[in-house]
Each structure stands twice: as C-alpha cells, then as structure tokens.
Chain A
C-alpha cells in the first residue's frame, strides 16, 4: 500500500516538474523567444534535444579539436569547454553580431562549434566557469 502510494507521489512529482519546465520555457516567452526556441529544437540532434529538455543545456563536439562544449540556455557567457569528466573547464564567450533571442544564439553557437570551431574560438573571450556558476 505505502509502496504504491510512494510510486504515485513520484509520478505526480515528475508530472509537476515537467509542467513547470514547460511553463518556464513557454509561459514567460514572448513570440520571438518562442520562435527562437522552436528553431533551436528543430535543429538539435535527438541526443542534444533530450539533454536540453532535461537540463536546459546540451553538449556539442568541436569539429577541429574533438573537445566537448556545453551550451546553456542564455544569450551570453553560456558556453563552457568541458574536461574529460564533463566538468566546466573554461567559459568561452562568443555571440552572433545581431541582437538575437536565446534560442537563436544557442543554435548559432552549436553550428559555430560543430562547423568552424577554430574560427569561433578566435573571436571568443574566456571567462571563469566558476564565476558564471555563481550567478
């Protein structure tokens, strides 16, 4: 009886969490932000999309070095180079020239790292991931 109750509570908690994530993603979004996120989702790989839905970040592999990067939801200071254990090693700040919404920025960063890693790292500024984590 209590095991069944616990399972039901667990299921309910997961449903509430999922609803909260959806509300956070769409509830506060303007139309343009929603368009940006829709475009991002359309261009993410299945694995990246699953990561993003779960954590609001996804990982990409740099096309030249093979290094892993994590791209978090955001419009700046949201890209981290990861170490072999998947921990943020250094922040890499590069953004599209135009004023874009978060979904567009994240998609641009993904395409940049996956197709022209050296080029984007040339313009990127570094920052401490610890500093950003504290924000």
Chain B
C-alpha cells in the first residue's frame, strides 16, 4: 500500500491506495494534481531518508507528503 499524507489542522490526513489497482492509482494521481494546483509542495523520501520535492505523481512512491504553501510569519 502507498500513502499520501496531507498536512492539515487535524495533524494530517492519510489516503492509502494500492498502486496495483488502476482505479485507485488514478484517484491518487488526481488528488496529487489537485493539491499541486492548490499550491501544496509534494515530498517523497529518498532511500537515505532525505526529503525530495517532486512535481510529478510517482506511482512507485511509498509515502508522499503534501506541505501547504509558505507565507511570511
């Protein structure tokens, strides 16, 4: 199972999907693109544990984290 984690006021919302299920994969890609349009940054983790920003949906990513846009505090 792969997971999309979206930071929100509850801590985070998680959407799990089976990357081998075409319908679930399509839904995950649509969610990814919608969040990108909304200004979120998507990050995945490299094998060494570093965060890597990605702008394109990766069906093989086990965990994708979505961070809201930054504003000056």
Q: How far is the CA of A122 from the CA of B64 in the complex (A)?
A: 25
Per-residue 0/1 for B1-24: is the Cβ within 8 Å of any A Cβ (1 yes, 0 no)?
A: 000010111111000000000000
7 extra interchain contacts, Cβ-Cβ under 8 A, other than A111-B41, A111-B51?
A35-B11, A45-B50, A94-B72, A97-B70, A97-B71, A115-B53, A116-B41
Q: How far is the CA of A114 from the CA of B46 in the complex (A)?
A: 13
Count residues on chain A whose CB falls below 8 Å from chain B CBs.
Answer: 36
Question: Main SS of chain B's interface residues?
Answer: strand
Q: Are A95 and B12 in contact (CB under 8 A)?
A: no
Chain A residues closer than 8 Å to B65, beta-carbon distance: 39, 43, 107, 111
Given A96-B67, A104-B7: A39 and B12 interface contact (C-beta under 8 Å): yes
| 10 pairs, A vs B, C-beta closer than 8 Å | A34-B11, A39-B5, A39-B12, A43-B45, A45-B49, A76-B73, A95-B71, A95-B73, A103-B11, A123-B70
Given A76-B73, A125-B72: A111 and B67 interface contact (C-beta under 8 Å): yes
Q: How far is the CA of A124 from the CA of B43 in the complex (A)?
A: 20
Chain B residues closer than 8 Å to A97, beta-carbon distance: 39, 68-71
A101 within 8 Å of B by Cβ?
yes
Q: Are B73 and A96 in contact (CB under 8 A)?
A: no
Chain A residues closer than 8 Å to B53, beta-carbon distance: 111, 115-116
Q: Are B71 and A32 in contact (CB under 8 A)?
A: no
Q: Are A77 and B73 in contact (CB under 8 A)?
A: yes
Given A32-B9, A115-B52: A93 and B72 interface contact (C-beta under 8 Å): yes
